[in-house]
């Protein structure tokens, strides 16, 4: 019996040695899948992203001057058609009806998804990259003039009243923008300028703890430069909070864009966004309430799904959650 027990123990040890350790990505994915709300959010967001990508297929547009609309071969769903305004859902082939000037509501929602998601993603990328770099530099050079300067700048930017400044800057840049798409990019730049502070403070806190770790001291002893340590050691080890912050930032920027567009200072016509679709429906709320319901529902579902994903990623990337389920 003792021999059998020894052999079984040896086999278990051999299996434990030969069994390949799961990669970090697989571990994170397994924990993320256990978060039911995060999976629901990811599915909803995937639907919106796919709808935005295949919008030209679901609702093809006709180039101006092609003459195809005149002969009835094709119809531009975003073209103004006063004769067919305020059509009910399903009438004359319009799935969700038409708006106050006869444009197809379903087609506008699809193309608005492109703009709203573009603003949210691009503003998030810019602000997170700038914030992560400045936060890593500030944390690495803590108790120095660099840290004091960057943190005082961050504190100053956080004290500014965001919405009034965004309104003023959007109005000023609108007057010099050569095209609606240029104005859209100016809006993204403004959001980046006033959005890097929170990621910077988050990354700085992480780097403050990482710079005291043994691997940092070992890198210095091997002669690694400060820039190499920041880029190759500080930032990669701070990726977990950066990813969670990035996910939640997309939803925040979509809401900010919607608010600015609703007030008339965001995405300009003829570009459609979920925010500016709400701008012109105030006078038709009782006549055709669905004009406000559909874009509002898209904003709500997108932001909610992103927040669910952020919660799931936070739990999946948290090493303290290893071995525990996060069913949500």
122 within domain boundaries: yes
* Structural domain harbouring 264: 38-57+105-321
- What is the predicted pLDDT for the residue at 60? 81
**pTM of the shown model:** 0.81
Cβ contact 233:218 at 8 Å:
no
Residue written as tokens 């939640």? 248
CATH code of the domain in which 259 resides: 1.10.3720.10
12 within domain boundaries: no
258 within domain boundaries: yes
153 falls in which pLDDT band (50, 70, 90)? very high
Q: Is the pLDDT of residue 319 over 60?
A: no
22 within domain boundaries: no
Domains: count for the chain: 1
Which tokens belong to 39? 């999976």
90 within domain boundaries: no
Q: Is the pLDDT of residue 131 over 80?
A: yes
| CA distance readout (Å), 215 to 138, 220, 233 | 19, 9, 8
Which tokens belong to 59? 């609702």
207-254: per-residue pLDDT in tens? 888 887 777 778 778 877 878 888 888 888 888 888 888 888 998 999
78-97: per-residue pLDDT in tens? 777 777 787 888 777 778 88
Is the peptide bond prior to 268 cis by the omega test (within 30 degrees of 0)? no
Q: Is the pLDDT of residue 1 over 70?
A: no
- What is the predicted pLDDT for the residue at 68? 41
288 within domain boundaries: yes
Q: What is the percent of the chain where pLDDT is above 90?
A: 25
- What is the predicted pLDDT for the residue at 21? 52
288-315: per-residue pLDDT in tens? 888 888 999 999 999 999 999 988 888 8
In three-state secondary structure terms, 222 is coil
- What is the predicted pLDDT for the residue at 129? 93
- What is the predicted pLDDT for the residue at 101? 80
Which one has a higher pLDDT value, 124 or 287?
Answer: 124
198 within domain boundaries: yes
Give CA–CA dist 203/270, Å, rounded: 39
1 within domain boundaries: no
């Amino acid at each position: 019996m003792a021999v059998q027990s020894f052999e079984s123990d040896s086999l278990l040890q051999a299996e434990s040695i030969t069994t390949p350790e799961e990669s970090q990505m697989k571990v994170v994915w397994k924990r993320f899948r256990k978060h039911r709300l995060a999976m629901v959010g990811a599915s909803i967001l995937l639907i919106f992203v796919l709808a935005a990508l295949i919008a030209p297929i679901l609702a093809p547009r006709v180039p101006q001057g092609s003459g195809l609309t005149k002969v009835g071969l094709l119809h531009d769903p975003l073209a103004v058609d006063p004769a067919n305004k305020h059509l009910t859902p399903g009438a004359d082939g319009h799935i969700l009806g038409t708006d106050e000037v006869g444009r197809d509501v379903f087609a506008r929602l699809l193309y608005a998804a492109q703009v709203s998601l573009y603003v949210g993603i691009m503003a998030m990328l810019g602000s997170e990259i700038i914030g992560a770099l400045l936060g890593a530099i500030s944390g690495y050079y803590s108790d120095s003039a660099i840290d004091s300067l960057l943190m005082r700048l961050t504190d100053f930017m956080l004290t500014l009243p965001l919405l009034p400044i965004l309104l003023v800057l959007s109005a000023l840049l609108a007057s010099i923008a050569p095209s609606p798409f240029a104005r859209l990019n100016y809006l993204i730049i403004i959001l980046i300028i006033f959005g890097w502070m929170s990621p910077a403070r988050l990354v700085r806190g992480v780097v403050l703890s990482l710079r005291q770790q043994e691997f940092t001291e070992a890198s210095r002893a091997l002669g690694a430069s400060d820039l190499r340590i920041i880029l190759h050691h500080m930032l990669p080890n701070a990726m977990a909070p950066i990813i969670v912050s990035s996910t939640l930032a997309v939803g925040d920027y979509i809401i900010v864009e919607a608010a600015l567009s609703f007030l008339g200072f965001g995405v300009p016509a003829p570009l459609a966004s979920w925010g500016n679709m709400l701008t012109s429906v105030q006078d038709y709320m009782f006549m055709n309430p669905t004009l406000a319901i559909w874009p509002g529902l898209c904003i709500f579902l997108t932001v909610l799904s992103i927040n669910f994903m952020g919660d799931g990623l936070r739990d999946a990337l948290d090493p303290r959650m290893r071995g525990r389920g996060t069913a949500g």
